[in-house]
Amino acid sequence: SFSLSKLQLKTGDLDPRLFSRLRHLQKLDLSDNLLDKFPNSLNLPDLRVLNCNNNKLEDVTALKQFPLLEELTYENNVFLTVSDLPSSYKMHASETVVEWWKQILNQSKAAPVTTHQSLRAVAVCLFFLRIHVFASKVKMIAEEFLAQSLGLELNSDTEPEEKMDEDEHEDEDEEKSTESPSEAADDVGQVTVTPSKRKRNNSKPRSRNKRSRSQVNTEEAAEDVSAEPLHFLQCHSKGNSREDFKTELWSGVFEPLLESGARKDPIVSSSRTVATCGGESVCLIDCETGTVLKKYKVVTEVFFSVAWTTLTMVIGDSQKKSHNILAAAGRRGIVKLIHVAADFCYGEIKAHKKPIATVCFSPAQETHLFTASYDKRIALWDIGIPDCDYNFKASQLLVLEAPSVPLRLALVPTCPEQHLLAGCEDGCFVWNIKLDKKQKNRSFEAAFQFPDEDGDVTTSHSVDGLAFLNDDVVVSKSSKPGCIYVWSWSRSFDTKGRGCQQTVSAVILAELEWSTTNVPYLTLSTCPAKEYVFCGDENGSVWMYNLSSHTRAWSNAKGKRSERRIPPTQILKWPELRVAGEQLSKVVVNNVVSDPAFTYLVVLTSVNITAIWKKC
């Protein structure tokens, strides 16, 4: 055993010539130093235990040089996550442990711990012991065990493909907690709150999925998009209860790829990691595997919205590096700021005294965050950039007064520093948000009129869905049943016009045929790169509209409005998901989001289920 802990060692201080004389060393402690990587030739063939906690490690691929390594601890390395571990530590080959797996899984049934704890414990043991297991056999055993334990069934037509297992985790801290796949802390308790018309609960994890062929209605075969459900995750359950099918899920946003920072091509910057929120927790999910990568929980909170930004931070030795920051907000009116790579909630902004309905970052200013609250105000914040000790200073730049509760926000793509659109309980409005004005509190510049059910125009209607399809085309959903409006921003509002609180008519380009439900808060989303619109309904279905054949005509200044309602290109039907042999009760789709490349579709429901579809 050899301890080099707390010596302020840097990578250059680890002299391979010295370590080559310690060929029989089995335990090495390098914790609490300043190491940013390992030298490639330490020559410790017998090393079995390595502690590298509290360093600055960014890469651990050099660990492959230790063939007998059994135990590795690497907590509190800001730039390092479980996904960075070398592939040599992954399980593959040999059936010698299959029976042992069966015994462990069977024993865990009777143990007073949850299924995900048991599986996580087994996974950690296998990692540290470097047991090699034939992957498909282990998967099959785990699937059988999980199906029996959870009682979940998904009716499928032909081939029931893989059922991926979820790694989730919770922390005991009631205020701030982040979890990663390597942590095994259990979670307890929580609160349910409801700030508006429809009931909003909260909850925590249990996930299970199956692939199946789904029922799909296609209006135009030529535009058919083949998609199948990959995973059905129950990862926001209250108190980690498998019986929780009441927690409502509200928001999901895909994480931006750091290396794509300056790229404009959304396809290149596509990610498969999505942040979802509902109840007391925020989850980061790998859409391909169905793995819950991280989980953040506040027991007294009900999260309604999440948003990403990328900050260039200075962390130690004056080195600058880009990091993704996640903002999450909800019932308490507080914005939590989470440095995801570090598994650390580094701060909070007490933005409003009433619940926050939605948040969004400015694409033009990485530190500018908009928060829309039930206090009928939209605030613009500069969240600042945290220093190496995570000290930061947030400041309020603007307060926009809304006539009613703002539900959705959309910055105008052509002028994101000048105009903000908001869908509110009582209409759709636009504000001037330029910071060169002295006035900090501002009223809206214009209210948009839309047709009502009687064919007249009105500004008084609830707009619970709002998004841009491209630089000019806006898609919004209002209280008019069975209809989603597509309209032109540039033809509806004169950005050079003066005046305040004027009323303007939205120049309608088309109407999209949709459900006739009156259920509120079923929001819509768009995929600009593929020119798609998505919206869920009260029956668990997802309505998809491919508008690529229409946008060219709409871009013409003299383009005519589509005379007939545009039907959905496709409707993805909710599969027959069963729990303990019984079909789930009424499923409402609160939100649907796709990644920029439209590879994955994430469906957030009223029954604590996150459904992930993949385009074939």
> What would the pLDDT profile of 313-323 be if each residue is shown by its tens digit?
876 667 788 99
Between 40-49, 281-290, 353-362, 383-392, the lowest mean confidence (pLDDT) is in 40-49
Beta carbons within 10 angstroms of residue 489's beta carbon? 24
Counted residue by residue, the chain has a size of: 616
pLDDT bucket at 155, cuts 50 / 70 / 90: very low
What are the beta bridge partners of residue 321? Answer: 313
pLDDT value at residue 499 = 62
Full-model pTM: 0.68
Query: What token pair was written down for 89?
Result: 């530590």
Q: What is the per-residue DSSP string for 3-62?
A: E-TTS---GGG--HHHHTT-TT--EEE--SS--SS--S----TT--EEE--SS-----GG
* pLDDT tops 60 at residue 153: no
Tell me the average pLDDT across 389-393. Answer: 91
Between 143-157, 431-445, 467-481, the lowest mean confidence (pLDDT) is in 143-157
pLDDT digits (tens, 9 = 90+) for 522-541: 999 999 999 999 999 999 99
Whose structure tokens read 């370590």? 19
Longest dimension (CA), the chain: 88
Burial 511-537 (b: 16+ CB within 10 A, else e): bbbbbeeeeebbbbbbbbbbbbbbbbb
Q: What is the per-residue DSSP string for 47-78?
A: --EEE--SS-----GGGGG-TT--EEE--S-T
309 residue type, one letter: T
Give the chain's count of helices (H) and strands (E): 6, 41
Task: Please give the Cα distance from 39 to 581 (Å, whole number).
Answer: 55
- The answer to whether 346 touches 358, Cβ cutoff 8 Å, is no
Q: What single DSSP character describes residue 606? A: T
Query: What token pair was written down for 538?
Result: 């009260």
Region for residue 499 given its phi and psi (left: phi exceeds 0; alpha: psi -120 to 50; beta: otherwise):
left
pLDDT digits (tens, 9 = 90+) for 237-250: 988 888 899 999 99
pLDDT bucket at 15, cuts 50 / 70 / 90: confident
Q: In angstroms, what CA-CA distances link 152 with 143, 147, 165, 237? A: 11, 6, 13, 15
Task: Please give the Cα distance from 224 to 273 (Å, whole number).
Answer: 26
Please state the CATH superfamily assignment of the domain spanning residues 178-615 in this structure: YVTN repeat-like/Quinoprotein amine dehydrogenase (2.130.10.10)
Task: Please give the Cα distance from 351 to 349 (Å, whole number).
Answer: 5
* pLDDT tops 70 at residue 33: yes
pLDDT value at residue 142 = 53
∠ Cα 268 272 278 (to 5°): 135
Tell me the average pLDDT across 32-52. Answer: 83
35 versus 62: the higher-pLDDT residue is 35
| Strands (E) located in 280-319 | 281-286, 291-297, 303-314
- The answer to whether 477 touches 485, Cβ cutoff 8 Å, is yes
Task: Please give the Cα distance from 177 to 182 (Å, whole number).
Answer: 14
pLDDT digits (tens, 9 = 90+) for 565-580: 999 999 999 988 887 7
Handedness of CA 54, 55, 59, 61 (dihedral sign): negative
pLDDT value at residue 441 = 95
pLDDT value at residue 19 = 80
Q: Are strands 483-488 and 507-513 parallel, antiparallel or unpaired?
A: antiparallel
Handedness of CA 55, 59, 64, 68 (dihedral sign): positive
* pLDDT tops 90 at residue 601: yes
494 residue type, one letter: D
Task: Please give the Cα distance from 30 to 93 (Å, whole number).
Answer: 32
Q: In angstroms, what CA-CA distances link 614 with 213, 214, 216, 228, 287? A: 11, 11, 13, 6, 9
pLDDT digits (tens, 9 = 90+) for 261-298: 444 455 555 689 999 999 999 999 999 999 999 999 99
Tell me the average pLDDT across 16-36. Answer: 83
191 versus 125: the higher-pLDDT residue is 125
Tell me the average pLDDT across 27-56. Answer: 84
Which sequence spans correspond to the domains of the chain?
A: 98-150, 178-615
pLDDT digits (tens, 9 = 90+) for 177-230: 554 433 323 332 222 223 333 443 333 333 334 333 344 444 443 455 678 899
